[in-house]
Structure 1
């Protein structure tokens, strides 16, 4: 028994020393150099874990306590994201923060490289949690034509979410919606591409605050042509449908993007290399993180196995599998049989690590959550 305890202590000490040395040795390195160095240190299991997600509640018992046995079983190599962590149950901000704190401390202290997770949430009209300030839906904000007020609103949202441990939002929605019967019309800024671009850019500016170490990352969605435009000709697509996304990326450095559920030119957006690689990363120069809409990879037609679906998505340019990572857990199988390209896999892992470094999660003074009482 004593030997097993000593072995466990030695293993934990080695993890802490390894993480500390990584932080210390990276002070004079660029973010990309740090990403490369960390990637090289990681096991293949850790790399795959960074591309998956889960719900935070899965790790807590009925009394709201972190179940470390469940953690050891479900996330021994870490995890990339926690899905919509604030809106799953009616929980107050301080309880949410305490749960985020418990999870992050466990990840830092008990996984091989101590990599913190990204907690994300929807914030189209504020944080969807108990006692939070809720603002008008985006269609109502667009009716104001007031981008200054829109920026002020999202700045307040970002400040509150960051206190609760959130570092990524799944917002704004900048689909140019021309069909009044579209079932998510209220989440958009309407049918005008220029107005959507102006309001969306203000949203990103207020949310990210020019620095992901203190702000919250914005995620442009639903790329490209959701709500109408999936069959647009190239002129309409490039000059109108793309405009809000292009403006947010070029002017404000929007750091994340979510492909839509729909198809663009007969290929689902989440597995469409033309829009995710050629246009997004090529033409727009996007160097952020691409995340799937919830279960979008499951919905890729014409493919029968999760391995095939995972390969189609990651090869096309999608980095992360939301909300459970059900398909990306087969990435190793895809790599072994040649379906998943190694360069696509490496790109995806490094995109996630780069986002985490931009958000300051590896810094010695990392702002993972607020230690003060939170009042929303």
Structure 2
């Protein structure tokens, strides 16, 4: 609902009606939502656990995961809350909570790539969405997910946009928008504007409030070890990990989640410089800061007690807890004037957010203005579009294949027809399984024989006389209902999952059985072979390159990923995705990034060329030609113009990342920096001039008195000398 001018007065009236315990209760989000309700007769009722929590606090601040369904929650299509039941359950919870204090509860849900609830649209994971290099598409898909959340009575969407893929050993790499801060910042803004509307216009209507996670530098954790120390200087923190945070603030994000990790020894949940001085005082953030799950209690290693952990997090700038006990002890500190004042400040922030949704005492929450079923239909359509845009063709090989010539296809590998491997982490089970890659090929070629080989021997035997062989390799984030989980939901058991939260790896090579399959196929099979790498992190793909196979990278592309892959293999679509990370040639060379300050080539004596595929790699079947690059100084900065031409008989899409390198200052420059993306659809034979303007602060080196600039697009470079941003000398190639 639109922000109203008397919101401060309404918040103060609500605050005045709450005693200290109730105010502390507004800051707590301890209860696992799926345990708050239970089926009763022909409907639902508040569970005993839910009742105890409401009675303890005389209300509730927020409730996490009311609709969550997955292996950790144990909720399935048999015992979970179905889409048509969501409105009833949300209304029940609101009525019960309002009875205690008159104030409703904020319902928060996981939505990193779709609502993690039964029947919700599942989008490709953020790493796959980043490969599209298409912010407009990400904005549209985010809006569709937000509409589903709002139609269900949800207020807060927890969305991963702030992490960078700085070490591919990290299991949560799939939650990142790649390794580059510019790309991640653009996508962060797209997510916020999609879910909240421009200038927060859709919050409470067709949109929800976004809680961006994780703040900050979690992707920098040493060795890719989840939640551990990020050893990083202030400059790299500012240049790499904070641009997404600032982009979120500027876009109007209403929430941030403080991460597990520490930065140079200071845990994020105890980092007042980060949560208050930077976020609020410097950037003007006016929303809430939520702690990650149980992160407040982890401060006990610093403070020595749970109670002191809660106090430290509160005074550092955390407003809302998540599952922890630390904030539940704040009501024991009523005689501490500093704590009382901080509780009031945080409570006002929570109540102000509730006012946006009509949850305060004198208000009634407005009915959602979107239909859940319609929003799910729209979301599924957008999931298909993102899946198609996310596929990256790394090696063309014999692709595309002509469907008319394919009568016998063999699909081999551990994920040959495994639909769960396409989905990624943080997803609910599907009511009807989506087609895996083998099934999608069979649907695309109903008259052909598509056979699945269970091992290398079967693949070689079946390939004899076949027309083509597809290897489906990589990994999976699938959590089985029999797996063991940590207290925060991360995978704890040794299970089938090879990616996702709780699955950090020391070795990025494809598993031994997959490497053996590649070797035996390359030695024994003479038919065309294409490898599809289904993955949520960079793997070492060197064996595939050495075998000369076509390679399609598919970053957990969602339930429509099988169909999207089939379309690429059969030439029904030309891939436009670009690699959002640097692919290593071997495990021992990581971490490795395109924007490092030093070149890693010729350093390791046993791996002189560590990069297998550079950041931004990718090609299509119908790529337009780049004829020239021109760089022109302007008052606002520098204009980059690229002339492109399509020599093809059908429409084609140009996708060209724009890189720069800056010299002349007092800081060692990065080897290159992504500063923009040029994209357009060209008609057959069409010439287009694609351009963008780079602002002056994006092209001048820090403290530069005689700056130089190099612009790189495709295989073209242009250098500028900018003494005083005047009398600029230009060279192009």
TM more than 0.5: yes
Q: Deviations over 1:176-213 (max 9, x none)?
A: 22111111000000110000000110011000123322
The Cα of 1:335 is off from its aligned counterpart by 3.6
Q: Does 1:190 align with 2:178?
A: yes
**Matched residues in 1 for 2:370 and 2:214: separation?**
34
Corresponding residue for residue 291 of structure 2: 292
2-structure distance, mates of 1:79, 1:204: 26
CA deviation vs aligned residue, 1:149-202 (integer Å, no higher than 9, x gap): 001001110111111111101113221221111110000001100000001100
Quick check: 1:170–1:219 contact (8 Å CA) kept in 2? Answer: yes
Give the aligned length.
345
Partner of 2:90: 100
Q: CA deviation at 1:368?
A: 5.7
- Structure 1 range deviating more: 58-67 or 151-160: 58-67
Partner of 1:13: none
Distance in 2, matches of 1:287 and 1:29, equals 16
Structure 1, unaligned stretches of length 5 or more?
1-26
Partner of 2:595: none
What does residue range 170-249 of structure 1 map to in structure 2 within 5 Å? 170-209=158-197, 210-211=200-201, 212-214=203-205, 215-228=207-220, 230-249=230-249
Question: TM-score, structure 2 length as denominator?
Answer: 0.45
Where does 1:42-121 land on structure 2 (aligned, <5 Å)? 42-53=18-29, 54-63=31-40, 65-67=44-46, 72-76=51-55, 77-87=58-68, 88=73, 89-90=75-76, 91-108=81-98, 110-112=99-101, 114-121=102-109
Distance 1:371 1:244, change over 3 A: closer
The alpha carbon displacement at 1:341 in A equals 2.6
Q: 1:337, 1:30 → 2: CA distance? A: 31
Structure 1 length as normaliser, TM-score?
A: 0.85
The DSSP-based 3-state class of the residue aligned with 2:285 is: coil
What secondary structure is seen at the aligned counterpart in 2 of 1:170? strand
More helix by share: 1
The corresponding residue for 2:308 is: 308
Shift of 1:371: 10
Q: Distance in 2 between matches of 1:104 and 1:259?
A: 27
Whether contact under 8 Å (1:101, 1:369) holds in the other structure is no
Looking at structure 1, the residues matched to 118 and 336 of structure 2 have their Cα atoms a distance apart, in angstroms, of 47
Displacement of 1:296: 0.5
Instruction: Quote the residue 1:153 is aligned against.
Output: 141
Closer, same or farther: CA 198–67 of 1 in aligned 2, 3 Å: closer
Q: How far apart, CA to CA, are the structure 1 residues paired with 2:260 and 2:47?
A: 35
**Distance in 1, Cα, partners of 2:306 & 2:295:** 12
Q: CA deviation at 1:82?
A: 0.9
CA RMSD, 1 decimal = 2.3
What is the CA–CA distance in structure 2 between the aligned matches of 1:319 and 1:368, rounded to whole Å? 27
Runs of 4+ in 1 over 6 A off after TM superposition: 370-373
Higher RCO (C-alpha under 8 Å, 6+ residues apart): 1
Match of 2:357 among 356, 359, 365: 359
Query: Any idea what SS the aligned residue of 1:65 has?
Result: strand
Matches of 1:371 and 1:200, distance apart in 2: 24
**More strand per residue: 1 or 2?**
2
Q: Distance in 1 between matches of 2:367 and 2:296?
A: 30
Structure 2 partner of 1:14: none
- Greater CA drift, 121-130 or 152-161: 121-130
CA distance in 1, matches of 2:156, 2:47: 25
Distance in 2, matches of 1:255 and 1:315, equals 20
Alpha carbons of structure 1 residues 335 and 141: separation in structure 2 relative to 1, 3 Å: same
Inter-CA distance 341–31: structure 2 relative to 1 (3 Å threshold): same
User: Computing the radius of gyration over CA atoms, which structure comes out larger, 1 or 2?
Assistant: 2
Structure-1 separation of matches of 2:51 and 2:265: 42
Q: Is the 8 A contact 2:150 2:204 kept in 1?
A: no
